[in-house]
Chains A and B, each alone.
Chain A
């Protein structure tokens, strides 16, 4: 398990959550784990990301929790899918679920700003508030 957290009164906590830990959770448990961390002002990094269905539900639940002057939502970043992905339907037919192993960074919308993103690099600026 690759969970590593660091707390500090004037720092930013980063939760790096392993794929193994996420595998043990249901969709709503995953979403709760992410959003509880983000509500606390943490940056959550998922080793293996979420499935498209889980991403859809994460957006939906996030919307329900937005509150003026308290929580504006999330910033979420993963690597863009590569162009070779066009064979994904065949892949899914042959091997079930599409692989979702993409490092994913999630944080409070007012604290994380993406500076650059391409298929191999995500560069983000994290502020304390």
Chain B
């Protein structure tokens, strides 16, 4: 028993050292367009580093390049994790520039749609190659059972990446966290409003616990 305990402690020390010397885990923030990914990324980055990551907008596809905020150290209840936050463009299977023409002229709308398609491809590449875990953000006021959500969760699961589902926009009247819990019962769902800063304590507890 003594030998076993000693061996266990030795292994524990080795793994502790390995993990402490590891580079920060890259946590990709994924989800459909307009779920509030950049608002969440900015909220986390501001709370723990003082800086924002990117511009937020109500127009879909405001984020058209993946952006990384390095070395964000999150501490909760004695647990600490240092992560790189990767804010990714919203994933979709279609982009129509006419979606943007109410907000801008045609040339700008076409440019935005081109950049959006490049951004989606980039997000998929990051997911396959470069992230160690995923925060999947959903607008809790919308139906979560969409093809994009089903496919992306399937892709994340097939790569055995740890994933937390964040049910965002709980400040909206139509919000239903249960609808998301029922759609993806195999994953932990955390309710929040990134815009209002609601339930961020639980958000950070989950990040520290799950990715730490």
Contacts and interface: CB of A to CB of B under 8 A. Distances in A.
A41 interface: no
A42 interface: no
Contacts of B117: 63-64, 66, 73
Nearest to B124: A60
B147 A68 contact: no
A109 B151 contact: no
Contacts of B158: 51-53, 98
B120 A56 contact: no
A46 to B, nearest CB: 14
B186 interface: yes
Contacts of A57: 124
B151 A85 contact: no
A73 B147 contact: no
Interface in A16-60: 51-53, 55-57, 59-60
A107 to B, nearest CB: 11
B130 interface: no
Contact of B124 (A56, A72, A89, A117): A56
Contact of A66 (B91, B113, B160, B183): B113
Interface in A59-95: 59-60, 62-64, 66, 68, 72-78, 80-81, 83, 85-86, 88-89
A59 B124 contact: yes
A46 B201 CA distance: 45
A36 to B, nearest CB: 17
A57 B155 CA distance: 10
B120 A63 contact: yes
Contacts of A77: 147
A75 B94 contact: yes
A114 B120 CA distance: 22
28 contacts: A52-B154, A52-B158, A53-B128, A55-B151, A56-B151, A57-B124, A59-B120, A60-B120, A62-B93, A63-B95, A63-B124, A64-B121, A66-B117, A72-B96, A73-B93, A73-B117, A75-B93, A75-B147, A76-B151, A77-B147, A78-B151, A80-B183, A83-B186, A89-B160, A109-B93, A109-B96, A110-B96, A117-B147
Interface of B: 91-97, 110, 113-114, 117-118, 120-121, 124-125, 127-128, 145, 147, 150-151, 154-155, 157-160, 183, 185-186
Interface of A: 51-53, 55-57, 59-60, 62-64, 66, 68, 72-78, 80-81, 83, 85-86, 88-89, 98, 109-110, 114, 117-118
Q: Which A-B residue pairs are the 7 nearest by beta carbons?
A: A73-B94, A109-B94, A52-B158, A63-B117, A86-B186, A63-B121, A52-B155
